[in-house]
């Protein structure tokens, strides 16, 4: 079939007319020369603040972080960021970013597997680096996330990724850091009369806990035995018994937290993190006694109980800090909303938490809980140059304005689909505004 050259030319012109930045930006090239950011206020991430500071980095690693007066400019590309603020790249724990694109389109959802017990499932292999959501997250300073599966009793293992890569292998910061267990909800009949449906749910819960116990016992025995054939489910649980992997226990109700922690400890699990933890303050003494860290997911939420203060979710981070519980903050309302991670920390500041403590709750504290604090989480010499520069307070939605972002020293393109659409339609409506001067306006 003969195709007219005119149609081919028209098609090529149409393709070339599509703006490149309407798509997911191309991953940045490796850092090619030393860079020095100068004149900003440095928020290290560990509580320390340095006015009129400088941060230098080379080959993706931070080489200097301190007063501007002590910085060596020789051989550096100097970027003047005077009057701005330098922060560590923000870290979102417990997320389905890259696994969940469009809720109503099943083909774009890849965050759960069939079945109740899937410890061998690796969420990171399904992580989509070409997600349209990722650039919108980076634009507010979130540069890393914990890619986490959901569903069933044991949903699988999570990994930490950085948000500028060609594929999931390149994105990995630390792979398979822990196993995720959703503790079965307690069944409480508050109506008084026997309820067959609730009795059935209670029986299912008991069966799930019994099956979980059997799986953990089998895994502990399997770890000690010499096996000719590998059992992937049991092998994937090995790290729980020597502390090389964390168990992320998803539970909110205080009694469920206590029950779940005691249960897994009885089966030899060494390192436990409670995720969700809406009742963490109520069981703070238990968490502290058992050296349990918390990923708190409920800042922008309603109170759990009718007799709680309306601002209880907002002030829980402050209360956890006062109680001495290690914690990180998690924006869990939606995948698209992860860009609001800095603002839930800002809400905690408005309800008692110190501003640098709030920053740590989305940077260094998170890095410690995820086991990556030797590499990221604070702006310190020797760590990855994963850094954010904001013209205003990054925790304040009114002034947050990320002007520069670097991941492992690479300068990140901060364009995204939302910015493209804003520019597109802003130009459209400005062009449609009637003239305010000239003959037409006078008539």
- Per-residue confidence (pLDDT) for residue 333, from 0 to 100: 79
Alpha-carbon span 50 to 66, nearest angstrom? 7
User: Of 343, 358, 376, which one is at a domain's C-terminal end?
Assistant: 376
Residue 401 lies in a domain: yes
Residues 156 and 83 in one domain: no
Largest CA distance in the chain: 93
User: Of 334, 359, 376, which one is at a domain's C-terminal end?
Assistant: 376
The strand pairing partners of 361, in sequence order, are none
Residues 197 and 77 in one domain: no
Comparing C-alpha atoms, which of 337, 404, 385, 343 is closest to residue 139? 404
Tally of domains within the chain = 2
Helices (H), 290-416: 312-323, 341-350, 355-360, 364-370
| pLDDT tens over the chain, length 443 residues | 455 555 545 444 444 444 444 578 899 999 999 999 999 999 999 999 999 999 999 999 999 999 999 999 999 999 999 999 999 999 999 999 999 887 777 777 888 888 899 999 999 999 999 999 999 999 999 999 999 999 999 999 999 999 999 999 999 999 999 999 999 988 766 666 667 777 788 888 899 999 999 999 999 999 888 777 888 999 999 999 999 999 999 999 999 999 999 999 999 999 999 999 999 999 999 999 999 999 999 899 989 888 889 999 999 999 999 999 999 999 987 888 999 999 999 999 999 999 999 999 999 999 999 999 999 999 999 999 999 999 999 999 999 999 999 999 999 999 888 888 888 888 888 887 776 555 544 44
- Give residue 225's domain range: 90-376
DSSP 24: P
Residues 140 and 180 in one domain: yes
Residues 94 and 213 in one domain: yes
Asked whether 401 and 393 are in contact (CB, 8 A), the reply is no
Residues 280 and 166 in one domain: yes
Residue 9 lies in a domain: no
Residues 72 and 195 in one domain: no
Residues 135 and 34 in one domain: no
- Per-residue confidence (pLDDT) for residue 100, from 0 to 100: 87
Residues 218 and 349 in one domain: yes
- CATH number at 403 reads 2.30.40.10
Residue 98 lies in a domain: yes
Residues 77 and 203 in one domain: no
The strand pairing partners of 389, in sequence order, are 86, 404
Asked whether 142 and 203 are in contact (CB, 8 A), the reply is no
Q: How far is CA 215 from CA 34, 44, 78, 228, in A?
A: 51, 43, 56, 19
Residues 294 and 415 in one domain: no
Residues 324 and 382 in one domain: no
Residue 123 lies in a domain: yes
User: Of 376, 402, 420, which one is at a domain's C-terminal end?
Assistant: 376
């Amino acid at each position: 079939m003969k195709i007219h050259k005119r149609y081919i030319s028209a098609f090529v012109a149409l393709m070339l007319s599509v703006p490149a930045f309407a798509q997911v930006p191309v991953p940045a090239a490796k850092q090619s020369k030393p860079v020095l950011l100068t004149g900003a206020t440095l928020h290290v991430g560990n509580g320390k603040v340095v006015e009129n500071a400088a941060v230098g980095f080379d080959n993706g690693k931070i080489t200097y972080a301190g007063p501007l007066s002590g910085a060596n400019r020789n051989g550096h590309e100097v970027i003047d960021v005077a009057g701005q603020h330098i922060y560590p790249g923000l870290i979102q724990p417990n997320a389905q970013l890259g696994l969940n694109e469009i809720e109503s389109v099943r083909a774009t959802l890849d965050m759960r597997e069939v079945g109740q017990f899937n410890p061998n499932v690796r969420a990171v292999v399904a992580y989509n680096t070409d997600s349209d959501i990722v650039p919108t997250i980076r634009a507010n300073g979130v540069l890393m996330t914990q890619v986490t599966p959901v569903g069933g009793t044991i949903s699988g293992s999570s990994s930490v990724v950085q948000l500028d890569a060609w594929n999931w292998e390149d994105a990995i910061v630390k792979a398979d850091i822990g196993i995720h267990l959703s503790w079965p909800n307690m069944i409480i009949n508050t109506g008084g009369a026997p309820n067959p449906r609730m009795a059935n749910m209670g029986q299912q819960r008991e069966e799930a806990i019994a099956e979980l116990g059997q799986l953990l016992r089998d895994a502990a025995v399997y770890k000690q035995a010499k096996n000719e054939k590998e059992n992937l489910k049991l092998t994937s649980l090995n790290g729980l018994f020597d502390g090389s992997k964390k168990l992320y226990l998803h539970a909110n109700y205080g009694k469920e937290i206590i029950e779940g922690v005691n249960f897994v400890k009885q089966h030899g699990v060494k390192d436990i993190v409670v995720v969700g933890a809406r009742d963490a303050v109520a069981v703070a003494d238990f968490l502290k006694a058992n050296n349990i860290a918390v990923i708190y997911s409920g800042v922008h939420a309603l109170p759990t109980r009718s007799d709680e203060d309306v601002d209880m979710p907002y002030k829980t981070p402050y209360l956890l800090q006062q109680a001495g519980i290690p914690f990180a903050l998690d924006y869990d309302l939606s995948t698209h909303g992860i860009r609001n991670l800095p603002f839930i920390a800002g809400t905690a500041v408005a309800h008692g938490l110190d501003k640098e403590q709030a920053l740590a709750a989305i940077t260094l504290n998170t890095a410690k809980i995820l086991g990556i604090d030797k590499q990221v989480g604070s702006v310190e010499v020797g760590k990855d140059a994963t850094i954010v520069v904001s013209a205003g307070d990054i925790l304040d939605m009114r002034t947050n304005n990320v002007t520069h972002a670097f991941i492992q020293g690479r300068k990140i393109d901060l364009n995204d689909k939302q910015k493209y659409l804003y520019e597109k339609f802003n130009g459209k409506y400005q062009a449609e505004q009637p003239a305010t001067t000239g003959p037409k306006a006078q008539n």
